[in-house]
A and B are shown apart, each in its own frame.
Chain A
């Protein structure tokens, strides 16, 4: 067991990979070990160099025509062989849907433990890794430890900061070619890209959230107006996306997790799954006609009133007050 050393990080998402390097560097220095990034793909030399400038001390590159597009089995087989050969004590995998499946299957192949969607990874006084994640639909945070190695943890997007780019950073780039890649066992029949919005709600300083208290999709224009005045973004709850099909994304445990300076929950009851997605907001305002709505329990400012009256009045007041400030 003790032969396992080092941290290995992999994500097929380039942005998330950099975030893994940020957290990975921190953990590597705490554990007194090295951080290795893995790059899988075809014609990926530039990517490897870039990862060095973002803090990877070593980059292992598997450059192969068969890895041109992400397919689980070839990628999985490459990672499993690298993990068997290099024996990392910790594998950090980006928690996209592809990444979560990859991590679970990798864990099965390596007979290892896997903790998905870690919100925190810490090293205790004895040099042991502690990981935290949300369970019970947002009702609790569980702290777990691993009993063997390798330890596999997946990390959600935008949980940890992207590290500073440093062109001076030194690191070793190793090309590995003696890998047996498995062929894909499923056939991709069709791919329809989803348009991803330009702005990321996770990065907004102010988010105006709308829930079932809004009767029509068009009514969101009053939230849009307030968001515009505050330079923020508008977010939605899951029922508006899933039940009413007005939107394709939502804020909450299963959707976007946000931590803006200000979150204004308008017409949102505050079910625990939604609350889990906004909990880290600095200031939370709840506007709801129902004084008993659970959102009131977790708000800093509570307005028991009709959002159709309050929101436009708030827009007006803020516009005037901010202009005169």
Chain B
């Protein structure tokens, strides 16, 4: 029996983002959102552990009220109960605030043996909240796990550190961040989706967590966004076409020599 919590984020669906080419601004109003991909891997891993060993599986998010959709998806995949930590005062929070609010919520929900997070979120990709959370809770941390195994009171994980593959062991309670190599997340059945609609979503605001107002939102944040712009893309877009492939290749070769980017 293990008590597991999976932290999830409702992220902007970056594959569907559109840019206003005149202003280079992203069109974020009504932009589609979805559960961050790596969080699904975290959920899948948690579900597999629960299926094998039994226990309780909770999920939590800090987000706006529409993040309920993300929690429903997590419940449909197999989480037992969900927590939505939501307050207008949390808007524009940075990772410092988000981790703090999440830590306060976790203290209130009760202790966990295992907390899983995605390695990063698909939209901001800062990989901050998981490690910060482990520090705030004072528990062990394993980042970038691509394989995870459980022992009686410990976890063993394999991580790719670019120069080596490392296998590490940590006593529970432990927070583990996972990469997308760890598993293939399940797609919930219609039946599971229907059952999920009956599962509980607890909603807490700032007052429920006793979070001081100066520690929330922009006021509490240590990093502030000044500007978000699509990168400049100015390319020649010249089409090279000959009668035959050989002729096309010849034209291209000459163009590249003309540019001075080959043959020095």
- A residues sitting closer than 8 Å to B (CB atoms) are 72, 96-98, 100-101, 104-105, 107-109, 111-117, 130, 134-148, 185-194, 196, 205-206, 230, 242, 261-262, 272, 279, 282-285, 296-306, 309-310, 313-314, 316-318, 321-322, 325
14 A/B residue pairs, CB under 8 Å, sorted by A: A98-B161, A107-B222, A112-B96, A113-B223, A136-B14, A138-B14, A146-B223, A148-B222, A190-B166, A262-B262, A303-B239, A310-B245, A317-B252, A318-B263
Tell me if A314 and B253 are in contact (CB < 8 A): yes
B202-246 residues with Cβ-Cβ distance < 8 A to A are 221-231, 233, 235-241, 245-246
Tell me if B124 and A135 are in contact (CB < 8 A): yes
Q: How many residues on B have C-beta within 8 angstroms of the other chain's C-beta atoms?
A: 77
Q: How far is the CA of A219 from the CA of B201 in the complex (A)?
A: 52
* Smallest CB separation, A245 vs chain B (Å): 11
B136 beta carbon closer than 8 Å to chain A:
yes
On whether A299 and B237 interact (CB within 8 A), knowing A97-B143, A107-B132, A325-B257, the answer reads yes
Give B166's nearest chain A residue, CB to CB.
A191
* Smallest CB separation, B129 vs chain A (Å): 8
Tell me if B161 and A111 are in contact (CB < 8 A): no
Q: Which of B123, B127, B222 contacts A146 (CB 8 A)?
A: B222
Tell me if A105 and B223 are in contact (CB < 8 A): no
Contacts of B231 in A (CB 8 A): 134, 140-141, 279
Tell me if B136 and A108 are in contact (CB < 8 A): yes
Q: Which of B132, B170, B181, B235 contacts A104 (CB 8 A)?
A: B132
Contacts of B169 in A (CB 8 A): 186-187, 189
Contacts of B225 in A (CB 8 A): 142-144
Tell me if B248 and A206 are in contact (CB < 8 A): no
Give B249's nearest chain A residue, CB to CB.
A313
On whether A262 and B256 interact (CB within 8 A), knowing A136-B17, A142-B228, A299-B235, the answer reads yes
Tell me if A135 and B233 are in contact (CB < 8 A): no
- B residues sitting closer than 8 Å to A (CB atoms) are 12, 14-15, 17, 19, 26, 94-96, 99, 122-128, 130-132, 134-136, 140-144, 156, 159-171, 181, 221-231, 233, 235-241, 245-246, 248-250, 252-257, 259, 261-263
* Smallest CB separation, B231 vs chain A (Å): 5
On whether A107 and B96 interact (CB within 8 A), knowing A116-B128, A310-B245, the answer reads yes
Q: Which of A138, A205, A297, A306 contacts B237 (CB 8 A)?
A: A297
* Smallest CB separation, A279 vs chain B (Å): 6
Contacts of A298 in B (CB 8 A): 233, 235
Cβ-closest 8 pairs across A and B: A113-B222, A313-B249, A137-B14, A108-B135, A104-B131, A309-B245, A317-B253, A113-B223
Q: Which of B160, B233, B240 contacts A303 (CB 8 A)?
A: B240
Give A306's nearest chain B residue, CB to CB.
B245
Q: How far is the CA of A109 from the CA of B162 in the complex (A)?
A: 26
Tell me if B249 and A96 are in contact (CB < 8 A): no
Task: Give the interface SS of chain A, mostly helix, strand, loop or mixed.
Answer: mixed
Contacts of A144 in B (CB 8 A): 223-226
Tell me if B253 and A147 are in contact (CB < 8 A): no
Contacts of B166 in A (CB 8 A): 188, 190-192
* Smallest CB separation, A2 vs chain B (Å): 16
